[in-house]
Structure 1
């Protein structure tokens, strides 16, 4: 058995706010019916693969925790939650649509919205979580259910050569630890959503 850790990063299923184009951040929205169905499709995919996972840790925000619970139940895995996996706070931008953000703050709204969490803070809490996971479960493979902006920031930090396309809902990104960092085995994959239901 490999002594290298593997992390399967998962973005939560879709929410009503996702469909409306509203930015969520730390606002505690719930999965839509479609989001629940998406989580089930990913759970089925994982159940059918030869890769075995040791457990799941999810953000404690409902949309991620519910996604994690659906997958954990299907795979018979323990589910933990960790507040360090929460989405970035978008401050005053939370609950706004893109046209609202553009009219209020302009094209560069991501840099202008006053009270949002900065990348360095996201990386600091995300890296602390990863370091702890690797130390506590050496050589194990864990699924981590979190959020789009948090995920994009952490994947870029851990594995800089990956493209930074929009991270899709219920996508799976698998990173394996190497001596000098992490390598990507799979990135932003949503093949399970193409299955006919």
Structure 2
């Protein structure tokens, strides 16, 4: 049986400002660094074989905190990047409405397509399944990327709730089918 733990990165300043991050390389803020340590502490009590991370610093910093705690090096893969936001990156919803109007989502703003995201996500999943069958794999990535990927590989599960920062989602594969046995869990977050 193969298990995958999916982790969304910790918070950033742009998360708090409700700015579209996309493939912009925004680092964790102070709270995000603390969240990364908290999820690392949670995962330390479990046995994992490998950690993969997006190459964007907010995911990489989260993965590195986990790696330090559990003693496994991070393998970086750019296919785990967030959905490319094109011209909307760095903007808030209010700014998008002001600049492009209410129908901004229907405009060609150079955003990455869902098909492109699914293609790179599927390619990544096929590669890791070939390398790590019957192992426990951690993947640290981004909210929109993870939700779209989850909807594609576990279509019978409801993934409508947005992923929280450093949430843990667990997939188990048996009989060539994925099932989600934990979604969006943040029990490790301790508010200071």
TM-score range, shorter chain: over 0.9
Structure 1-normalised TM-score? 0.92
- 2:173 is the counterpart of 1:177: yes
Gaps of 5+ in 1: none
Q: Is the 8 A contact 1:156 1:164 kept in 2?
A: no
Q: Is the 8 A contact 2:147 2:159 kept in 1?
A: no
CA RMSD of aligned residues (A): 1.4
- 2:49 is the counterpart of 1:16: no
Deviation for aligned residue 1:178: 2.4
Q: Is the 8 A contact 2:150 2:159 kept in 1?
A: no
Superposition misfits of 4+ residues, deviation over 6 angstroms: none
Aligned partners of 2:173, 2:106: CA distance in 1, in Å? 32
When residues 100 and 196 of structure 1 are mapped into structure 2, their CA distance, relative to the original with a 3 A threshold, is: closer
Partner residue in 1 for 2:160: 164
1:111-140 alpha-carbon deviations (Å, 9 max, x no partner): 435210011110000010011001011111
1:159-196 alpha-carbon deviations (Å, 9 max, x no partner): 12223111111111110112242100100111111x35
- SS of structure 2 residue aligned to 1:56: strand
When residues 111 and 9 of structure 1 are mapped into structure 2, their CA distance, relative to the original with a 3 A threshold, is: farther
Gaps of 5+ in 2: none
Structure 2-normalised TM-score? 0.94
- 2:122 is the counterpart of 1:127: yes
- 2:101 is the counterpart of 1:101: no
Q: Is the 8 A contact 1:105 1:113 kept in 2?
A: no
1:61-81 alpha-carbon deviations (Å, 9 max, x no partner): 111111000000001112100
